[in-house]
């Protein structure tokens, strides 16, 4: 199934606070020597407050979505998932039209992900502290479950194009959200016929806009219809011990990494103000 294969063991560096976490990140850089150039980072992070059995699989490829998709009784499970995704996205675009300031399927798809619709997108960030924040933000999970942070060089997900390959039918690096490979893959989720391209898990860097994408230094992997599981030789996972989550969250707050600076809306500002004043009402 279209997942990024998770490492079976943790990166051999004990993390107990923000400093030791950043030391582990630096060690990863030393071990992997990423060579990406340009302004936008090619090293990506994903934090999770829980240890999931299959942690690097987007909403469309999670078990509950697959069970609901069985109602379509198509020729295979993959086609069932695509049908359910298409109908749900159609509902989102039609019923939510008054809130959508765009008719672009690509933009609507990223908006749907932003508002917790199941899509083929999996969230990542180029900010190591944001990645850590997502692993420790839920205070209800403190002292209950370990978290983890994944690190990878994103372009290493992509296969090497064949010799002499040219044009938009191949990917050499992280793609922008307007790349034909990306627009074609997303169009397929909106019933739009597209040129056939080999199904991949694509690292995608969205347009930076005011709001969460900019605040979180967001990036995504797009798990195309019919794509297979992918490996990444640079991918590691760092354990975030449950008994250290609270202290690490407090450290991040002192560094101005908090609910408001990450999510950038009034609901999360209120959460931070109540936390600062120790008010649970």
Find how far residue 93's CA is from the centre of its chain.
Answer: 22
Question: Would you place residue 213 in the very low, low, confident or very high pLDDT band (cuts 50, 70, 90)?
Answer: confident
Tell me the pLDDT tens digit for each residue of 88-147.
999 999 999 999 999 999 999 999 999 999 999 999 999 999 999 999 999 888 889 999
Q: Which pLDDT score, from 0 to 100, does residue 210 have? A: 75
How many other C-beta atoms lie within 10 A of the C-beta of residue 59?
19
Please work out, in degrees rounded to the nearest 5, the angle formed at the alpha carbon of residue 173 by the alpha carbons of 36 and 52. Answer: 90
pTM, entire model = 0.95
**Which residues on neighbouring strands pair with residue 75, listed in sequence order?**
none
Tokens at residue 17, please?
Answer: 């606070």
Is residue 83's pLDDT more than 80? Answer: yes
pLDDT of residue 166: 86
- Note the pLDDT of residue 87: 97
Residue 211 confidence (pLDDT) above 80: no
How confident is the model over 71-100, as a mean pLDDT? Answer: 95
Distance of CA 204 to the CA centre of its chain: 10
Provide the pLDDT for residue 92.
98
The ranges assigned to domains in the chain are 18-269
* pLDDT at 216 exceeding the cut of 80: yes
Q: Residue 200 in contact with residue 172, Cβ under 8 Å?
A: no
The per-residue pLDDT for range 27-47, each reduced to its tens digit, is 999 999 987 777 677 999 999
Read off the tokens for 211. Answer: 């709001």
Residue 186 clears pLDDT 90, i.e. is over it: yes
Beta bridge partner(s), residue 218: 125
> What is the distance between the alpha carbons of residues 258 and 261, in angstroms, rounded to a whole number?
5
pLDDT tops 80 at residue 209: no
Q: What pLDDT score was predicted for residue 251?
A: 98
Buried (b) or exposed (e) across 106-144, using 16+ Cβ within 10 A?
bbbbbbbbbeebbbbbbbbbbbbbbbbbbbbbeeebbee
């Amino acid at each position: 199934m279209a997942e990024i294969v998770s490492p079976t063991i943790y990166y051999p560096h004990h993390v107990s606070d923000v400093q030791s976490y950043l030391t582990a990140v630096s060690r990863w850089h030393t071990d992997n020597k990423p060579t990406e150039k340009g302004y936008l980072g090619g090293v990506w992070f994903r934090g999770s407050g829980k240890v999931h059995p299959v942690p690097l699989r987007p909403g469309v490829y999670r078990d509950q979505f697959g069970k609901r998709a069985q109602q379509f009784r198509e020729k295979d499970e993959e086609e069932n998932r695509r049908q359910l995704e298409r109908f749900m996205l159609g509902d989102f675009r039609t019923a939510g039209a008054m809130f959508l300031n765009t008719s672009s399927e690509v933009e609507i798809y990223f908006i749907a992900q932003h508002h917790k619709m199941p899509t083929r997108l999996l969230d990542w960030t180029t900010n190591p502290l944001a990645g850590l924040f997502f692993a420790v933000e839920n205070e209800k999970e403190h002292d209950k479950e370990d978290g983890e942070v994944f690190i990878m060089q994103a372009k290493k997900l992509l296969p090497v194009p064949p010799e002499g390959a040219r044009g938009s039918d191949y990917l050499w690096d992280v793609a922008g959200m307007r790349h034909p490979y990306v627009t074609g893959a997303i169009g397929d989720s909106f019933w739009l016929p597209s040129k056939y391209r080999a199904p991949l898990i694509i690292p995608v860097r969205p347009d930076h806009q005011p709001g969460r994408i900019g605040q979180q230094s967001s990036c995504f992997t797009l798990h195309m219809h019919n794509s297979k599981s992918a490996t990444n030789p640079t991918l590691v996972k760092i354990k975030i011990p449950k008994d250290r989550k609270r202290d690490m969250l407090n450290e991040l707050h002192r560094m101005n990494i908090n609910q408001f600076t990450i999510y950038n809306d009034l609901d999360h500002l209120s959460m931070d103000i109540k936390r600062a004043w120790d008010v649970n009402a």
